[in-house]
Structure 1
Amino acid sequence: MNLLPVKRAILSVTDKTGLAEFGKFLVDRDCELVSTGGTKKMLKDAGLPVTSVSDVTDFPEILGGRVKTLHPHIHGGILADKDDEAHMETLRDFGIEPFDLVCVNLYNFADAVAKGLDLKAAVEQIDIGGPTMLRATAKNFHSICVVPDPQYYETVVKEIEEHGGLTLEFRKEMATLTFRLTSEYDAMITKYLSENDA
């Protein structure tokens, strides 16, 4: 797929800079927003229609928020190859709707370390669902676009305004940036754990 129209997006961010404006841009172009927790609240407070991840999964957030998006109704919609009819048939069989855009940024682990939290408290700031969605979306850039940081919102907006969707070249570029970001995040966690006693 070369040009990707954006009609369904999942947004789940720690850094909410520019989120309401970005969400409004998507909604104004008939994009359904799906979201979690504080991100969903901010979008609703901005007057935007937003669907809860729990409504998509038909399962509540559990374990103090550790498990929210790790579900086939989320990851099936992220990882489906839209050019593969067998994938699309599987989505239809299980009532899963595909996503076109995933906007996620991660828990600020560096900030947790800087605050001098003890090991157990710091470990709670290791994001699991976020990197999983980022990596899944980046892997499937032929069918979906990943947006890993607010600094890219304006670029995404310009791409959609100029092309009516997101080009394959742009999606590949965003995937590359995302894999670099997640590898740096993992390297930071590796360094922290190796330097701190259990």
Structure 2
Amino acid sequence: MDRLVIKRAILSVTDKSGLPEFARALAANGVELVSTGGTAKLLSGEGLGVTEVSQVTGFPEIMGGRVKTLHPAIHAGVLADKDNPEHMATLTELCIKPFDLVCVNLYNFAEAAKKELPLKDAVEQIDIGGPTLLRAAAKNFHSMLVVPGPDHYAAILDEIQTDGAVSLTLRKKLAAETFAAVSAYDAMIAAYLKDHDA
């Protein structure tokens, strides 16, 4: 599809700069907001209606937040090809609502590395669910918009406010940027682990 109308978004960010304004603009355009822990708390505090991920999955965040979004109710909604009737029938059969936008930025592992924490503590700042969501949404850019950072909010809102939808051109551009960002993140972690004793 060329024009993607944004109806449902998942927001889970470490860098929260500009997020309340972005989320407020999405909500003003009728977008349902779904979010995780700290991000959901921020948005609720800004007076925005937000559905917690645990309400979508029917499962609490566990293991100190290590497992939050890794659930079929989230990932099927992100990975469904909206042009594929079988995918959409599966969502209907399983009562899973599709997502249209994934806005995620990653735990700041670079900051943890600078602090020279013990390795066991440093690895807690390795994001798992974030890169998984980003890769899923980027892979499915024909049906999804992936938002890997705050610097993209203005361009996205401009398209929504101008056309009521987001173009395939912008979605493909952000998918490519997302894969590059996740790749750089993984490379940074690999280099860190190589240089530090267990």
Q: CA deviation digits over 1:75-106, x for unaligned, max 9?
A: 00000000000000000000000000000000
CA RMSD of aligned residues (A): 0.4
Equivalent pairs, count: 198
Whole-angstrom distance in 1 between the partners of 2:14 and 2:170: 24
* Equivalent position of 2:97 in the other structure: 97
Match of 1:123 in 2: 123
1:99-151 deviation line (CA, Å, top 9, x unaligned): 00000000000000001111000000000000000000000000000000011
Q: Does residue 161 of structure 2 align to residue 161 of structure 1?
A: yes
d(CA) in 2 for partners of 1:114, 1:168: 38
TM-score (norm 2): 0.99
Letter of the structure 1 residue corresponding to residue 25 of structure 2: F
Q: CA deviation at 1:169?
A: 0.8
The CA distance in 1 between the partners of 2:191 and 2:185, in whole Å, is 10
Distance in 2 of aligned mates of 1:159 and 1:195 = 44
Partner of 2:175: 175
Q: Distance in 1 between matches of 2:49 and 2:181?
A: 30
After the TM superposition, which parts of structure 1 deviate over 6 Å for at least 4 consecutive aligned residues? none
Structure 2 stretches of 5 or more lacking a match?
none
Task: Find the aligned partners of 2:65 and 2:149 in 1 and give their Cα distance.
Answer: 21
**Counterpart amino acid of residue 129 in structure 2:** G
Amino acid at match of 1:185: Y
Partners of 2:140 and 2:65 lie apart in 1 by 26
Q: Which amino acid aligns with 2:55?
A: D
The match for 1:141 is: 141
Q: Which amino acid aligns with 1:179?
A: F
How far apart, in 2, do the equivalents of 1:151 and 1:84 lie?
32
| Residue identity in the other structure for 1:157 | L
Shift in Å, 1:159: 1.4
CA deviations 1:12-32 (Å, max 9, x no partner) are 000000010000000000000
- Partner amino acid, structure 1, of 2:95: G
Structure 1 unaligned blocks of 5 or more: none
Scaled by the length of structure 1, what TM-score is found?
A: 0.99
